Structure 1
């Protein structure tokens, strides 16, 4: 059997607070505990803090509750011990340890003496019994809780208890009794509403609770096969909530109505109501509620074998729960996604999803959902033909089901184990598990499980030669099949009848509305004409005044805007002209400075070239001295010495020229180095001299080399710089 875990909002013993609110309350209580000088006050505060922390730090909550209990025992403080046991029960309930919660709450009852506390704890015990499907015990405690309610209990509080009783009665198949209990609750609320003025907060709260009981009555009638009455109650509840503008209970009622339509196979109506609920949740920005609606709609697509669409919606719900950090919701959606993968025969993917759900549920100590995950794994291994792993997972699921004492799921698992051992040809164990399933199905009224168990035992009896027993069991199987078929046929017939009656009522309502509208029109037509004429006149006057005022304001505004735009335009134009003048002035100054530097460099270079020519002449004169007579030699030497004295500063001036070239062309050399990093120092100096427009002859004279050598250097430099086309080397360097 497949289990889809419906996302439900369960409001029980803990307040629904955000993480920030919880920690703020916890800090406040912690400070009060540390300041408290009274032990009894400390016990009360520790229990309050433990209840606050349940949903966020269950380990710390448990530690505080146990500490409060121990302190109460030392002080012999009965009321403190009662509160501590109640808190410890709350913690166990939140952790899904329902049996342990019941034990602790019963201990709390032993030391409780206030009727209101006694009633509240009995109601909580009833809720826990409901979780483990002990509906008779739950009902007993709900009735005890009602009897202990004080006489002045508010009608809403009293109706809550009756609502819980009705749920237990429905589970016990006592639908008519459940409806009577709910109608009693509806009467109590009706009587209370009569004594209150309409529109008050308390009045509205009682109407909301009235709608809640009507919705619950609809569920009871539906489970009893009375579909027309069920839908009528649902529509009553919806009408009340729509009038009140309620946005909290209304989507839940729409969900319940969708559940009814889904159960009778009217998937169109079911989806229609689920989408109504979804729309309200989206408007409220209730993200977890939206995820619940996605889950409901996906279940319908799954039932119709539309697995891709179901998977899409399950994944959308999963993302919301993951963003919210809701571990329980994440685990449930992982299980549902696993079911989709199993249906698509993607068994390995399904197993991974079940394992992910198990890790979360085990961490949260969710024993029931952990068991469901393991059972689904076992069913998947069975489909794969891996019987050893199937048995291993079934046994783990069995252990958890026994801890939760959930008879419905346990009965289903016993049938699965029976089928497993039947396939393994182990008739003894198969018979054992089928028999357990059959007994539980009879005791707790599970016709589908009774049918499966009877069929399995019939097959075993036949294989053992017990044909009489096999025949009896097969008759039981057929009887349950007929029961289920009859239920389904009744539902289908009821659905047709419900559709017909709903359409009939809708038509009657439409006719009545038309008649009412016609009467109202006839009665009000004269007044409407008069009011309309007066309203039209007033309207025209107002429109004329508004148009005049608007036109006047617009004219003033346009004039002011035009003046401002003209001023802005003039200011911008003046700024632009000033900016252009500044830029031209700066450019002129820079060009003048550059020209002065270049002229200075040229003059120095020419002076040095002249001096180099002098040394050439000096060299030539020295050669001539060799061929002169002594008197002429001396005279010639004196002339040369005089000229040498005039030219002694040639080296310093050359160094100075090089320094000034480096300084004037620092940026130029930096760019040149980026273009050609492998350039030599001589080539850099040649580039600088060419940049100031010196000729090859002047450069040769300056460096005391031949003009041909300068031309060769210029050629190599041009190659290094990759200068092609008609561009000259000098133009290239000056542009750089």
Structure 2
């Protein structure tokens, strides 16, 4: 009996049958071609492989670097906003937002949208502000961040007020108030009630607005929020002025002024003075009104706030015009116009020029 050998060189099984040898040759050639083909065929990635490559997380060092860069941009934007440059602040915050998106930090995105809304509001870009704040609110809802929802709703309501949509603002503030009550958030209740009072006053329901403001004041004081308290007092003073209750008007604005001065809250301080000037001049106390305007102008100059200097000169001009002292009024209108040109406020410059033209014939 012959031995069977596998000869790799000839690929022939030595069996005693010709047909079988032919089949063996065919099988070996097929096997060699298969090996050759496999050796030079590229590996095809599956859809799962590609997805994993795209969603592979950044390494910790890259994530940390990106987050630090975004956080730095937020800080820069805050300083720019504080210095009065909202345009540059928006640029910095927008760059930070792109980074937060890239690393998937949803909470930081919500915070940045809130900052952007604030920046757009200062520039009077209400459509952009509303878009940013609604995105902030959407994230707060997705993450069950109820406190952010309170402030987001109040911000949206404020934009609606500035757009003159008073009726739509009311339910927005009411929704914020409901959430604040459910959380027993004293600060949120004070803010929401104060804004609700403002919307109610804009509609013309003054008596109801006074009650809402008084309720808001109790929460402002509980939360030890002097800036919020001064703001609510100024709002309440506005309503008392409209209904002609000058004693309450002067007392309320006076209380707001004392708080604002004690806390160095310049915005509410100037607003309180404006209210007191209107109240005193309405009852013929012109000397008191002029004394207050002198203090207002001194504050504006001390902090080198040209916008508030302009407002002070305009108030002087209006008061002198009210007294029939048109030459002096024209002088103050001219000074206000000069500042309007300096700060490149074209619309204000045109309105002042129009007023100056009208009194030039008197």
Q: Is residue 2:216 matched to residue 1:357?
A: yes
Q: Distance in 1 between matches of 2:257 and 2:117?
A: 33
| Alignment deviations for residues 506-550 of structure 1 (CA, whole Å, 9 cap, x no partner) | xxxxxxxxxxxxxxxxxxxxxxxxxxxxxxxxxxxxxxxxxxxxx
Q: Distance in 2 between matches of 1:469 and 1:221?
A: 38
Q: Is residue 2:181 matched to residue 1:322?
A: yes
Partner residue of 1:437 out of 273, 277, 296: 296
Partner residue of 1:199 out of 39, 59, 65: 59
Q: Partner residue of 1:413?
A: 272
Q: Partner residue of 1:283?
A: 142
Q: Is residue 2:197 matched to residue 1:338?
A: yes
**SS state at 2:224 partner:** coil
The Cα shift of 1:361 comes to 1.9
Q: Partner residue of 1:212?
A: 71
The Cα shift of 1:427 comes to 1.3
| Alignment deviations for residues 700-723 of structure 1 (CA, whole Å, 9 cap, x no partner) | xxxxxxxxxxxxxxxxxxxxxxxx
Q: Distance in 2 between matches of 1:467 and 1:251?
A: 53
Q: Aligned runs of 1:333-482 on 2, under 5 Å?
A: 333-461=192-320, 469-482=328-341
Contact 2:310 2:339 in 1 (8 A): yes
| Alignment deviations for residues 162-198 of structure 1 (CA, whole Å, 9 cap, x no partner) | xxxxxxxxxxxxxxxxxxxxxxxxxxxxxxxxxxxx6
Q: 1:214 to 1:266 in 2, by over 3 A?
A: same
| Alignment deviations for residues 557-610 of structure 1 (CA, whole Å, 9 cap, x no partner) | xxxxxxxxxxxxxxxxxxxxxxxxxxxxxxxxxxxxxxxxxxxxxxxxxxxxxx
Contact 2:310 2:340 in 1 (8 A): yes
Partner residue of 2:128 out of 269, 278, 288: 269
The Cα shift of 1:226 comes to 7.8
Contact 1:408 1:446 in 2 (8 A): no
The Cα shift of 1:354 comes to 0.8
Q: 1:371 to 1:257 in 2, by over 3 A?
A: closer
**SS state at 1:248 partner:** helix
Q: 1:352 to 1:475 in 2, by over 3 A?
A: same
Cα-Cα RMSD:
2.8
The Cα shift of 1:282 comes to 1.5
Partner residue of 1:307 out of 148, 155, 166: 166
Q: Aligned runs of 1:165-184 on 2, under 5 Å?
A: none
The Cα shift of 1:332 comes to 0.8
**SS state at 2:345 partner:** helix
Q: 1:287 to 1:226 in 2, by over 3 A?
A: closer
**SS state at 1:425 partner:** coil
Q: 1:217 to 1:345 in 2, by over 3 A?
A: same
The Cα shift of 1:334 comes to 0.7
**SS state at 2:314 partner:** helix
Q: Distance in 1 between matches of 2:279 and 2:313?
A: 15
Q: Distance in 2 between matches of 1:399 and 1:232?
A: 37
Contact 2:97 2:112 in 1 (8 A): yes
The Cα shift of 1:484 comes to 6.1
Q: 1:342 to 1:480 in 2, by over 3 A?
A: farther
| Alignment deviations for residues 236-293 of structure 1 (CA, whole Å, 9 cap, x no partner) | 2122111211122111111222333333343333222222222222221111112222
Q: Aligned runs of 1:704-723 on 2, under 5 Å?
A: none
Q: For structure 1, list consecutive stretches of 5 or more residues without a partner in the other structure.
A: 1-197, 490-736
Contact 1:208 1:240 in 2 (8 A): yes
| Alignment deviations for residues 323-348 of structure 1 (CA, whole Å, 9 cap, x no partner) | 11110111011111111011111111
Q: Is residue 2:60 matched to residue 1:240?
A: no
Contact 1:415 1:453 in 2 (8 A): no
Q: Distance in 1 between matches of 2:165 and 2:189?
A: 22
- Counting matched residue pairs gives 291
Which structure has the bigger radius of gyration? Answer: 1
Q: For structure 2, list consecutive stretches of 5 or more residues without a partner in the other structure.
A: 1-57, 349-362
Q: Aligned runs of 1:50-199 on 2, under 5 Å?
A: 199=59
Q: 1:209 to 1:349 in 2, by over 3 A?
A: farther
Q: Aligned runs of 1:537-616 on 2, under 5 Å?
A: none
Q: 1:422 to 1:485 in 2, by over 3 A?
A: farther
| Alignment deviations for residues 604-659 of structure 1 (CA, whole Å, 9 cap, x no partner) | xxxxxxxxxxxxxxxxxxxxxxxxxxxxxxxxxxxxxxxxxxxxxxxxxxxxxxxx
Q: Distance in 2 between matches of 1:286 and 1:335?
A: 22
The Cα shift of 1:368 comes to 2.5
The Cα shift of 1:466 comes to 6.3
